[in-house]
Amino acid sequence: MKLVKTVAELREEIAAAKTAGKTIGLVPTMGALHEGHASLIKAANMENDFVVVSVFVNPTQFGPNEDLEAYPRTLDADCKLAEAMGADIVFAPSAKEMYPSEDMTWVEVTGNVTKVLCGRSRPIHFRGVTTVVSKLFNLAQPDRAYFGQKDAQQVEVLKRMVKDLFFNLQLRVMPIVREADGLAKSSRNTYLSGSEHQAALVLSRSLKKAQERFAAGERNAAALTEAVREEIAAEPMSNIDYVEIYRLPELQPVNGPLTGSSLLAVAVKFGTTRLIDNVILEEK
Ligand code: PAF
């Protein structure tokens, strides 16, 4: 496996892979790789001939008071894990390499899909994500790109971008990977103290109950969200940002009973760490 830090080197590697007729799988990450990322790299390795994992803590998707500086940076360990999962290239550029000009070209998805949920408390976040992911798509020219369902809103935003900008690739979405105790794997879990980790288990516990109530026939969105909200609020260390349900695809408001496929999503702070989690509610 090769560690590549410049756009020029990456372009050379991609050109060689394309000339050799290889299909390309791209796994965009911000590093601090965990088993969730490992599942994406593994899938990319199974479905493509050549796998690129990008490791880039993207400054443009962090708001002014967010954790850009504190975000864990573990490139050596990331390279080891990426190699073990079958990556051919780790692309770890500097911010200057990805954003060479002071003036910016933005890629921005508009509408409900970027306004609700995390878009409300993180207004510039998705514009940063779509801009950097567009750059990575243009550089790696993947046949398939891999993202985790834990970032459910990001997935919906990227699906819209791929469709609207005619990116010629398949967006592959892999299931949430959880700790044995239910906590969704996240690079930010390393910020949690032991007691905050314990408290955060309320997220997966309450979402699972909502899923069970849905399976038993509950179709009232307010009843489901209120039960989740009450259970999370009863945990003294929690500070709720949102507990909401939207219709899939593209996060449209729910009017009337739940039909088709819906996303029940939560964002909650434990201490200074903001965690997200979700379940999809759909009839079998
Ligand atoms: O999901 C992430 O880790 C990031 O938002 C992504 C897609 C790598 C873009 O920086």
Question: Which is the closest atom of ligand 1 to the Cα of 56?
Answer: 10
Q: Is the CB of 155 under 6 A from ligand 1?
A: no
The residue whose CA is least distant from atom 1 of ligand 1 is 29
Percent of the chain residues past pLDDT 90, beyond the cut: 99
Query: What is the pLDDT, as a whole number, of residue 71?
Result: 96
CB 271 within 8 A of CB 192: yes
Q: Is the CB of 134 under 6 A from ligand 1?
A: no
**What is the token pair recorded at 213?**
């109530």
**What is the token pair recorded at 77?**
């360990």
Q: How far is the CA of 154 from the centre of ligand 1 (A)?
A: 8
Q: Is the CB of 28 under 6 A from ligand 1?
A: yes
Strands 261-270 and 273-282: antiparallel
Nearest partner of 43 among 143, 140, 178, judged by Cα: 143
Of residues 34, 37, 125, 197, which has the active-site annotation? 37
Numbered ranges of CATH 3.30.1300.10 in the chain: 187-279
The band of 284, judged by pLDDT with boundaries at 50, 70 and 90, is confident
Query: What is the pLDDT, as a whole number, of residue 261?
Result: 97
Question: For the purposes of burial, counting CB atoms within 10 Å of the CB of 2, is it exposed (0-12), middle (13-18) or buried (19 or more)?
Answer: middle
DSSP 240-266: EEEEEEEETTTTBPP-SS--SEEEEEE
Active site residue 37: yes
Instruction: Name the CATH superfamily for 2-174.
Output: HUPs (3.40.50.620)
Q: What is the rounded CA–CA span in Å between residue 74 and residue 72?
A: 6
Tell which one of 27, 29, 136 to mutate to probe ligand 1, the residue whose CB is within 8 A of the most ligand atoms: 29
Give the Å distances, CA to CA, from 33 to 133, 162, 164, 169, 229: 18, 25, 30, 24, 30
CB 49 within 8 A of CB 10: no
Q: Is the CB of 29 under 6 A from ligand 1?
A: yes
Q: What is the rounded CA–CA span in Å between residue 171 and residue 130?
A: 13
Numbered ranges of CATH 3.40.50.620 in the chain: 2-174
Tell which one of 34, 154, 171 to mutate to probe ligand 1, the residue whose CB is within 8 A of the most ligand atoms: 154
**One-letter amino acid of 131:** T
Q: How far is the CA of 71 from the centre of ligand 1 (A)?
A: 13
The band of 89, judged by pLDDT with boundaries at 50, 70 and 90, is very high
Q: Is the CB of 186 under 6 A from ligand 1?
A: no
Q: What is the rounded CA–CA span in Å between residue 262 and residue 279?
A: 9
Q: What is the rounded CA–CA span in Å between residue 197 and residue 195?
A: 5
pLDDT tens figures, 147-167: 999 999 999 999 999 999 999
Q: Is the CB of 129 under 6 A from ligand 1?
A: yes
Q: How far is the CA of 284 from the centre of ligand 1 (A)?
A: 30
Question: Which is the closest atom of ligand 1 to the Cα of 29?
Answer: 8
Q: Is the CB of 13 under 6 A from ligand 1?
A: no
For the beta carbon of residue 12, count every other beta carbon within 10 angstroms: 12
Query: What is the pLDDT, as a whole number, of residue 264?
Result: 98
Its sign, for the CA torsion 261, 117, 238, 173, is positive
Residues 181-194, mean pLDDT to the nearest whole number: 97
Q: Is the CB of 133 under 6 A from ligand 1?
A: yes
Tell which one of 54, 109, 133, 276 to mutate to probe ligand 1, the residue whose CB is within 8 A of the most ligand atoms: 133
DSSP 13-40: HHHHHHHTT--EEEEEE-S---HHHHHH
CATH 1.10.3720.10 holds for 187-279: no
The angle formed by the CA atoms of residues 220, 224 and 229, to the nearest 5 degrees, is 145
Chain mean pLDDT for the chain: 98
Q: Is the CB of 132 under 6 A from ligand 1?
A: yes
**What is the token pair recorded at 122?**
């993180």
**What is the token pair recorded at 91?**
């692309």
